[in-house]
Amino acid sequence: MNDWNFDPLEISVLVLAGALYWRRARTLARRGRAVPRVRLAAFAAGLLTLFVALESPIDTIGEERLFSMHMLQHLLLGDVGALLLVLGLDGRLLQPLLRIRLVHRLRVLAHPLVALPLWAVNFVVWHLPVLFDAALRNDAIHALQHSLFLALGMLVWAALIEPLPGPAWFTAPWKIPYLVGMWLVMLVLSQVFIWSRHVYYAPYVHDAALWGLSHLADQKAGGGVMLVESALTMLPALVWVLLRVLRESEARQQLMDAGVAPATAARAARYGRA
């Protein structure tokens, strides 16, 4: 139960992603366009987070014994890991992918009005007992669940952070309700588990309790894990957005004082990353 998995397929995918990223970063460095070390570190940390979530005892205990540990795994995949990977990307790194016609067309999924609803529906639906239990019993469904958590998690963070330019109207002030919407989804779902009066997921009912936790206490703890993790990610993100609001406002006002038209000043302040 406490063993590491070291699943060959999962590890191969992580190694391939890291190798492709490193190769692209080296290519850019040779062209005099080196990727900042903080971006490299973020992507590496993202891959490490995925490795821990998938290969460590978190996976085994989460699948076999504790819902709270399984919740931690989902948050590492779909929130922490996804965020770190997005922080490690920018347009230069993504350029080879964007040359692929299908990938270019799928950019619409990172539109804020698309990414947020998709992420929210996916996150909530997979925690319905019928689908959650199915994922625990079937490896293929479980792999699909984890893949969608990661993919849609990256999309929802990419829409906010914009490693590629987003829609012109999505200025920093609009990012506040967007982020609050993300937080509310996790807050509401966490409360469902924290205030639950019975165990929702059948596989856990039939397993022995671990670490002195009853099955219901374990489920409540899973809600607590979601509540704490969401605060640890959303609060820094909210501070970042508020700082962006101030910077864009100051830059827009400076441009307007210099005689630039308001609409042009707003676009310049936004895309100039002032």
Query: 1-22: per-residue pLDDT in tens?
Result: 568 889 999 999 999 999 999 9
CA dist 184 and 98 (Å) reads 32
CA dist 199 and 105 (Å) reads 42
Burial of 44 (C-beta count, 10 Å sphere; 0-12/13-18/19+): middle
- Give the model confidence (pLDDT) of 94-145 as tens digits: 999 988 888 888 889 999 999 999 999 999 999 999 999 999 999 999 999 9
- Give the model confidence (pLDDT) of 152-178 as tens digits: 999 999 999 999 999 988 989 999 999
pLDDT at 273 over 80: no
Q: How far is CA 154 from CA 21, 40, 94, 238, in A?
A: 16, 17, 14, 17
Q: How far is CA 121 from CA 36, 124, 171, 223, in A?
A: 34, 5, 24, 18
pTM over 0.95: no
State the chain's mean pLDDT as an integer.
Answer: 90
